Each structure stands twice: as C-alpha cells, then as structure tokens.
Amino acid sequence: MTHNWKQSTEWRAIKAFLKFFFITLLASAMFVPFIWMICTAFKPANEVEMLNFIPHAAKTENFSLVLRLIPDSLSGKFLNIHLFKWIFNSIFVASWVTVLQVTTSSLAAFAFSRIKWKFRNQIFMMYLATMMIPGMILTIPKFQIMVSMNLVNTYTGLILPAAFSAFGTFMLRQFMLGIPLSYDEAAEIDGASWLQIYLDIILPLTKPGLITLAIFTFLGNYRNLMWPLITIKDEALKTVPVGLLSLQGSYQSQTELLMAATMICIIPLIIMFIIMQKKLVRGINLGGGVKE
Amino acid sequence: MRLWEGRREKRDFFAAMGFLLPNLIGFLAFTAGPVLLSLYMSFTNWSLKKSIPLKWIGFRNYTDLFSDGDFWFYFYNTGYFMLGIPLAVGGSLFLANILVDSMRIKVDKTRSRLALITAVVGFLNCAFFIVAGWNDAALFVGIVFLAAFFGVLFGTTTYRTMFYIPSFASGVATMILWMQIFNPEQGLLNNLLYYIVPVGTQLPEWLISTDNLLGFLPLPAHFNSSGFGFGAREAILIMGFWMGIGGNNMILYIASISNIPDSLYEAADIDGAGGFAKFWHITVPSVAATTFFISIMSIIGGLQGGFQMAKIMTNGGPTGTTTTLAYYIFTEGFDELRLGFASSVSWVLFLIVFGATMIQWKYGNKQSEA
C-alpha cells in the first residue's frame, strides 16, 4: 500500500511543491541584502541611512552620475569614474588568470593524483603548507619580487602571480581522485601515453571541477582588491575594486553612488555565472571519452 | 637516493615532472619565495617605518607574543568563530543536494500555467500591500513571488544564482546591512524577537555586547568573556553562516554531486532505497574527497578569517572580543607597522593550522591513497 502511494503522481507533486516552496523562501531570504543594495542605488543621499527599502523619493540620477551621462550638480563637473574601462581591465585580467590557472592547476593536479612517484605526497604537502600562511603577510615580499622583475603597474604584474595556485591544484586533485584508477589502466593497455590519458580521459571527467575552479578564479580575480591596489598606480590600468575604492575615497563615501556603480560592475559576473553553472548538471560524467 | 627503480618508474617520474613543472615554477617564484622571506623577517624587527633599521633580533618577537597573553585571547576568539563551520558545511551540502537537479517542470503546458498562476497571485498580493501603504512588505512579497515565477520557468538556475549572488555582490554592502539588522533598537532582528520572546525579556544587544554562549566558562579575566547570552560573537556567527551556506562550498558540492554516476542511484532505486537513504549511503560517501577539501580549506580559512568583519563592523570590539588572529596581524603589521612581529604571529598561526591539517590528513585522506 505505502509503496504504491509513494509511487503515485499526487505524492510526487506534493513533494515537488514542498521543495519549490522551501527553496523559494530560503532563496528570497538570502537575496534580501542584494535587494537592499539595489534599493540604495536608487536612494537620494538623505535616505541612505534610513531603514526603509523602497526609497520615498526614488531617483535614477545615481546611475547617470556614475555613467558620466550628467555632471555633478554641485561642482558642475563629471565624476572621475571610468566604469567601462575598469570593467574591461577586470575582465581582461580575470580571463587571463582563469585560463592560465585552470591549465597549470589541472596539469599539476594530474601529477599529484594519477601518477605515482617518489616524494609526491611531500611536495603536495608543501603546496598545502603555503596556503596556511596568512596571505596578508605575503603581499609585501610579493610586491618586492614584482619590483625586481619590473612588473609593477603592468597587466602582467596582475596576471602572473595569480596564474599558479595551490588552491586550484588541491581542488582539482580531489576531483581527479574520484575517478577510478581502472580507467587509466585500461587506456594504458591500449597503448595510451600519460598525455593522452590526461587529455582524453581525465579532463573530460573532471569537467565539473574545471568549471567550478573557473567560476571561483574568475570571480575572485574580478573582485580582488588587495593586489591591484598595491601594484597599480596608472589610471588606465585600474580594475573594478580599485576604481570603486577611489570612488569611495574621493566623494566622501557616497554610499548610493557606490551601490549604483557596484551594480553596473557585477552585471558581467552574473551573466558569466549563469552561463557557467548550466554546465554543472548530473550525468555528464560518462558523456566524455569513456563509455562502459 | 634514487628517485625511481626501473624503466617504468623513471618514465612516470619524468612524466609527473612534466605535468608539474608549469605550476611549480610559478609556485616557487611567487609563493614559496615570499613565504621563506616572511619566515626570515619574523626573526627581525622589520618595520614599515623608514627610521628603524632592519635588525636580526632572534626569537624576541616570539617570546613577546607568548608573554603578553593577547595572542591566546585572539586565538580563542578565532576558534570560537570556527565553531560555526560544521553547520555551514552541512547546510551547503544540503542545499547542493537539492539544487543539483534541474527542477524544471518537463511538461510545457503545466509549466506555463503554473508560472502564470504564480505571476497573477504575486501581482495581486503586491498590489494589495501597495494599496495598504506598506511598500517594503510589497517588495518582500514581490521578491518571493518573482523567485517562484522564475523558479517555475527556469528551475535551478534561478535558485543557484539567487544563493550565489549575495556571496560575491558586495562584501561591504552586505556587512553594512547586517549592522543595521543587528541594531539593538531599530534593527530588524530585535524588532522580530520582540514579538516572539515573553514580555519583559532583555533583548540581546548584539554587536555592542560581550555576552556569548560560552560565557559561563571560567576563562582568564582579560578574555572579557563575562556574561552568558547573545552578543557580538553570535552576531558575527549568524552572519557568517548566512554568507557561507550559499557560497563557494555549495557550488563545489553541486559540481561534486553532479559527478556521481547515475548508475549508483539507479541500483539503489532497484533496491527500493528512499530519498534519505540514497543521500546518506550514496551521495555523502561519493563526495568524501570534496568534503575533505572543504574541511581543510575551512580550517585554513577559519583560522585566517574574520578580518573583513572586524574591520568593517566592530573594529575588533567590544573590548577585543571579535578580534581574530587575522585582524591582529593586520593591526600589528599595517596600523602599528610592526611587520616583523606580524610575521611571527603569522608563523605561529601557520604551525597551528599545519598541525590541524596533519590530523585531518591522517584521518580524512584515506580515499586519496587508494
């Protein structure tokens, strides 16, 4: 009896409804601060400190101001904001870092997970260990290395240090460990080299891991503040977070302008996320090179 | 010492080096170098003040560190915040398990009908609240129905995006909002609690209170841990949970669950396993490698964490109860400009994290050695 009931369409529909209901409420609750951000972007300056979400006197001037469509009413000058240039710089840097980091990390992760060699675990432990030093304390030595390599205030100086990551290596290693070793062995019997095993078997099977790392790396570098803040002096090379910070400083932290600018700057991130996350679905693992 | 025995191992060793080299070169240059430099500097009086010449001072930073007692206080604070980690990781796995399926209703007709109903009901609700003059209530109801509407139309994509956006949208904006939520008089939270708790109960003062849930422990006086209840630490724990649950860990678990072969679940279906049994006996063991990764990164992140919150929300207060080791390193290194001392704090922290990771490694990494 119970078995039949659990298989019935009604029970499934109720379950699906409850799931929808629960997840909708939770997602909405998580979304509230973001809504607050949007609301603040439409607020006049005197309402920013108030607790109401919907502005009493909503206005779109904040957006026009940060997009330099209209001049500031007090000084009559356009704000010193270059959103599109900042967004371009951020996308440019983040894309390069993502491509390089996913490549180098997946190669290293392959060596740490699929091939057996002496001192493998010791060298891997060394990788892990470097993550345990607070990054803050490493910024100044890192900066000095950049100075000696003449890379301060360049795109390369932003991209290169971020292109090699212990985090990415560790993460992909964990994904690769989940793939049965018998796949490699079968391929080897067929005469495949390590490079072929990497390209034809491991990479397709780690796709969710690669996509996840790409999401993390892109987002993390798009909004990384500390490193660009230290190394970039040139106005033309500023990335989004550095630009937004200067906005906060030079206009006496006008929160409503900051929120309007932030909203415009995260649009590329949202689009990127929506496209990438679509690839994270069940059952893609056997769609690649291996069929049983 | 031989790195390989025989031709096979030799081939494998060189292959491994080939795969590792691109990463290793950059790693040695940009990570290992600075790490060693900071170790050296922790034995000096390195200062950002130009007037103080660099001098080797041996273990003085380390003896200072352990004698002034602040270190252990801040270490305790850091540990306190880490108590929330297991809950947040569990929450992420739970969410990921729901959000891994597409949730999109397959039948076009049902889907469009449901979407239409949601939209109409939502619109009517909103209209009611606007007419009644409760704009913010209309906004919240509107969000819920909009989420449901898009959820019906696009399935999981909607929810994944809604959960994930807040974690990258704007750290500062989020924290300013939570400061308002935790405001003892006007804040959203206490105004809600007011209706829930019995009349006359003292409501928590959140960010300005040193009360905490471990306030009953007999701790040294300079830990400022007096009073049992909800205070600044709990406020930050609540916010951290809210931020952590839908963030990177959720995405990692989604990726990891989506990598589990369908055949495992199909086999369980044949055996007549229920939803929970499948989750517990298939999903949880299958994502063990990811859980291992997340727990190591959480320990590393947790022991180095709490910097932004302390900087923006509390300045480490009240009376130091939300100062974590990361914030301590920041204030010593970049406010007091004592980088040598800050380096030594970092290295003591390193030893602690390293020890914790080794224990984790021993018990959590069994699968990796297969």
Query: For position B95, which CATH number holds?
Result: 1.10.3720.10
Between A118 and A94, residue with greater pLDDT: A94
In a domain, B207, yes or no: yes
In a domain, B14, yes or no: no
Separation CA B206–CA B234 (nearest Å): 7
* Whole-number average pLDDT of chain B: 84
Overall average pLDDT of the A42-67 stretch? 84
Overall average pLDDT of the B132-148 stretch? 88
Q: Is B56 helix (H, G, I), strand (E, B) or coil?
A: strand
Q: What percent of chain B has pLDDT over 70?
A: 95
Separation CA A1–CA A4 (nearest Å): 5
Angle at CA of residue B270, ends B267 and B276, nearest 5°: 80
In a domain, A53, yes or no: no
Query: What residues 187-226 of chain A have any CB closer than 8 A to a CB of chain B?
Result: 194, 198, 205, 208-209, 211-212, 215-216, 219, 223
Between B204 and A1, residue with greater pLDDT: B204
Query: What residues 164-193 of chain A have any CB closer than 8 A to a CB of chain B?
Result: 164, 166-167, 169-171, 174-175, 177-178, 181
In a domain, A92, yes or no: yes
In a domain, A77, yes or no: no
Give residue-wise pLDDT tens across range B152-193: 888 888 999 998 887 776 566 677 778 878 888 877 788 778
Q: Hunting for tokens 């103080």 — which residue is that?
A: B52
Cβ separation of A277 and B350 shorter than 8 Å? no
In a domain, A139, yes or no: yes
Cβ separation of B346 and A134 shorter than 8 Å? yes
- Here the CATH number for the domain that contains residue A133 is 1.10.3720.10
Angle at CA of residue B157, ends B237 and A106, nearest 5°: 80
Give residue-wise pLDDT tens across range A241-281: 888 877 766 655 677 888 888 889 889 999 999 999 888 87
Query: What local confidence, expressed as pLDDT, does residue B224 receive?
Result: 67
Choose the closest CB to A280 out of B23, B258, B286. B258
Which of A14, A133, A169 should we substitute to test contact with B (largest number of B Cβ atoms within 10 Å)?
A: A133
Contacts of A39 in chain B (CB under 8 A): 139
Amino acid at B155: G
In a domain, B17, yes or no: no
Overall average pLDDT of the B242-250 stretch? 83
Separation CA B29–CA A164 (nearest Å): 10
Query: What local confidence, expressed as pLDDT, does residue A159 receive?
Result: 93
Choose the closest CB to A118 out of B3, B157, B289. B3
The H or E element that residue A146 is part of is helix A135-148
Long-range contacts of B102-108 (CB under 8 A, 24+ apart): B102/A281, B102/B155, B102/B156, B103/A19, B103/A20, B103/A23, B103/B151, B103/B155, B103/B156, B103/B159, B104/B154, B104/B155, B104/B156, B105/B152, B105/B155
Q: Identify which of B95, B88, B99, B94 has the alpha carbon closest to the alpha carbon of residue B301.
A: B88
Give residue-wise pLDDT tens across range B10-24: 888 999 999 999 899
Q: Does A118 touch chain B (CB under 8 A)?
A: yes
Give residue-wise pLDDT tens across range B301-310: 888 888 878 8
Backbone angles phi, psi at A272, to 5 degrees: -60, -45
Overall average pLDDT of the B63-69 stretch? 84
In a domain, B182, yes or no: yes
Query: What local confidence, expressed as pLDDT, does residue A93 receive?
Result: 95
- Which tokens go with B317? 């207060």
Which of B106, B259, B260, B283 should we substitute to test contact with A (largest number of A Cβ atoms within 10 Å)?
A: B259
pLDDT class of A212 with cuts at 50, 70, 90: very high
Lowest mean pLDDT among A10-14, A212-216, B164-168: B164-168
Between B215 and A166, residue with greater pLDDT: A166
Task: Give the best-scoring range by mean pLDDT among A70-74, B124-128, B212-216.
Answer: B124-128
Backbone angles phi, psi at A286, to 5 degrees: -105, 10
ipTM (interface predicted TM): 0.85
In a domain, B11, yes or no: no
Separation CA B136–CA B149 (nearest Å): 20
Domain around B249: 46-103+155-361
Q: What percent of chain B has pLDDT over 90?
A: 12
In a domain, A213, yes or no: yes
The string of DSSP letters for B245-265 reads HTSHHHHHHHHHHHTS-HHHH
Overall average pLDDT of the B286-297 stretch? 88
In a domain, B369, yes or no: no
Choose the closest CB to A130 out of B35, B101, B177. B35
Query: What local confidence, expressed as pLDDT, does residue A292 receive?
Result: 33
Separation CA B27–CA A130 (nearest Å): 9
Q: Is the pLDDT of residue B341 over 80?
A: yes
Q: How far is CA B77 from CA B73, B307, B341, in A?
A: 6, 12, 20
Query: What local confidence, expressed as pLDDT, does residue B254 receive?
Result: 92
Overall average pLDDT of the B311-332 stretch? 84
Choose the closest CB to B258 out of A20, A160, A282. A282
What are the residue ranges of helices labelled H in A61-119? Answer: 61-66, 83-113
Query: What local confidence, expressed as pLDDT, does residue A84 receive?
Result: 92
- Which tokens go with B283? 């999903």
Cβ separation of B19 and A208 shorter than 8 Å? no
Separation CA B368–CA B173 (nearest Å): 40
Contacts of A148 in chain B (CB under 8 A): none
Q: What percent of chain A has pLDDT over 90?
A: 27
Separation CA A36–CA A211 (nearest Å): 30
Q: How far is CA A23 from CA B141, B155, B165, B168, B216, in A?
A: 15, 11, 15, 20, 37
Q: How far B347 CA sits from the closest chain A CA (Å)?
A: 7
Separation CA B334–CA A137 (nearest Å): 10
Q: Is the pLDDT of residue B225 over 50?
A: yes
In a domain, B39, yes or no: no
Q: Identify which of B265, B260, B291, B296 has the alpha carbon closest to the alpha carbon of residue B278.
A: B265
Domain around A191: 83-251+265-277
- Report whether the peptide linkage leading into residue B184 is cis, meaning its omega lies within 30 degrees of zero: no
Overall average pLDDT of the B212-227 stretch? 72
Instruction: Give how many domains chain A has, as a whole number.
Output: 1
Q: Hunting for tokens 């994509």 — which residue is that?
A: B157
CA atoms within 13 A on the CB side of B71: 17
Lowest mean pLDDT among A102-106, A284-288, B44-48, B194-198: A284-288
Q: How far is CA A136 from CA A66, A225, B5, in A?
A: 31, 12, 43
In a domain, A26, yes or no: no
Separation CA A27–CA B246 (nearest Å): 9
Query: What local confidence, expressed as pLDDT, does residue A249 receive?
Result: 64
In a domain, B145, yes or no: no
Q: Does A8 touch chain B (CB under 8 A)?
A: no
Query: What local confidence, expressed as pLDDT, does residue B369 receive?
Result: 44
What are the residue ranges of helices labelled H in chain B? Answer: 6-27, 33-41, 60-67, 70-82, 85-99, 108-132, 135-154, 156-169, 171-181, 188-196, 232-245, 248-258, 262-270, 275-278, 284-286, 288-303, 307-309, 325-330, 339-364
Instruction: Give how many domains chain B has, as a whole number.
Output: 1
- Which tokens go with B295? 């727990």
Query: What local confidence, expressed as pLDDT, does residue A253 receive?
Result: 63
In a domain, A225, yes or no: yes
Q: How far is CA A157 from CA A161, A162, A169, A228, B293, in A?
A: 7, 9, 21, 9, 29
In a domain, A143, yes or no: yes
Q: Hunting for tokens 């080939």 — which residue is that?
A: B18
Chains A, B: CB pairs < 8 Å = 288
Lowest mean pLDDT among A147-151, B97-101, B184-188, B282-286: B184-188
Amino acid at A287: G
Q: How far B108 CA sits from the closest chain A CA (Å)?
A: 16
Q: How far A160 CA sits from the closest chain B CA (Å)?
A: 8
Read off the pTM: 0.87
Length in residues, chain B: 370
Q: Is the pLDDT of residue A113 over 60?
A: yes
Overall average pLDDT of the A217-221 stretch? 91
Query: What local confidence, expressed as pLDDT, does residue B314 receive?
Result: 83
